[in-house]
Structure 1
């Protein structure tokens, strides 16, 4: 099974192995979640300054964060769903701060790729409709994240 994943590293800090592992992990997560082959997702790695701009503009939070997701399947007011037989499923965009990933990997005492994988899966699950706005949803989402990461081999 394979998604169509568009990577963009605005930081020029990730190597090919980092990107390959994230791609493999997201495809693994997609298979676990039953996502259709050929579905599209975009993953962009940015600086803390850039993610702070995005966080401020879209979430009214003027601080850097680790990951932000923009789900294409969530319809806003006045938007209509486009459906076509030959159209791939477009899941949305995941934006990850590479600097925050490095900071948090050190803080939590695990590898950079483990943190990068955690953030990628977290963002991916948001694209699929998971959330953590209340205790019940948080437990469900975080349990799913842990299961995917553990089974893939990125344990803490």
Structure 2
């Protein structure tokens, strides 16, 4: 069972159901990843998604990555990726995969630059962040980046969202 908890700050557009968007994006990322077996696991799996402002993301980025600037999405895994399957095999209990945090201002400006709806870009960022929780890492080299982008494309396509990498690079 997968649970996606969304925490949405007031500055995000209240006309959009960010909780539902998060749930769809996390599920699509899992389904298209190497961890698709987690979807049917009896284990309670949780992902937390926080929609916040640039200043909070800037502070997190400075504290945890040493980069004193906001970024579009941050991921904070709670379990080492190589242990995920071992934990899932046990079948009982809970697995907190981790937290995904999006910065509103950065998300909005990138969506405008790409000329895509903010909902589509936010979905891409939640998928991207979820894949980081699962151990995908585009910073480990071109092969890793290509593999991660392929999963992102599949996940987004399953949600009816165009390939973001045809538009511009993230």
TM range (shorter): 0.7 to 0.9
Superposed CA offset, 1:105-135 (max 9, x none): 0001111011000100000000011001211
Cα distance in 1 between the residues matched to 2:13 and 2:30: 22
- Which runs of no fewer than 5 residues in structure 2 stay unpaired? 82-86, 165-170
Displacement of 1:152: 1.4
TM-score (norm: length of structure 1): 0.86
Cα distance in 1 between the residues matched to 2:65 and 2:19: 27
TM-score (norm: length of structure 2): 0.79
Query: Number of paired residues?
Result: 149
Displacement of 1:28: 2.5
Displacement of 1:35: 4.8
Kindly report the root-mean-square deviation, in angstroms, between the aligned alpha carbons of the 2 structures: 2.1
Larger proportion of helix: 2
Could you tell me which of 50, 55, 58 is aligned with 1:49?
Answer: 55
Inter-CA distance 85–25: structure 2 relative to 1 (3 Å threshold) = closer
Q: Does the aligned pair in 2 maintain the 1:11–1:47 contact within 8 Å?
A: no
Residue 28 in structure 1 maps to residue 35 in structure 2 = no
- Which runs of no fewer than 5 residues in structure 1 stay unpaired? 76-82
Q: Does the aligned pair in 1 maintain the 2:8–2:18 contact within 8 Å?
A: no
Displacement of 1:32: 2.8
Could you tell me which of 97, 102, 117 is aligned with 1:96?
Answer: 102
What is the 5 A alignment of 1:2-151?
2-15=1-14, 16-33=16-33, 34-37=36-39, 38-74=44-80, 86-133=92-139, 134-151=141-158
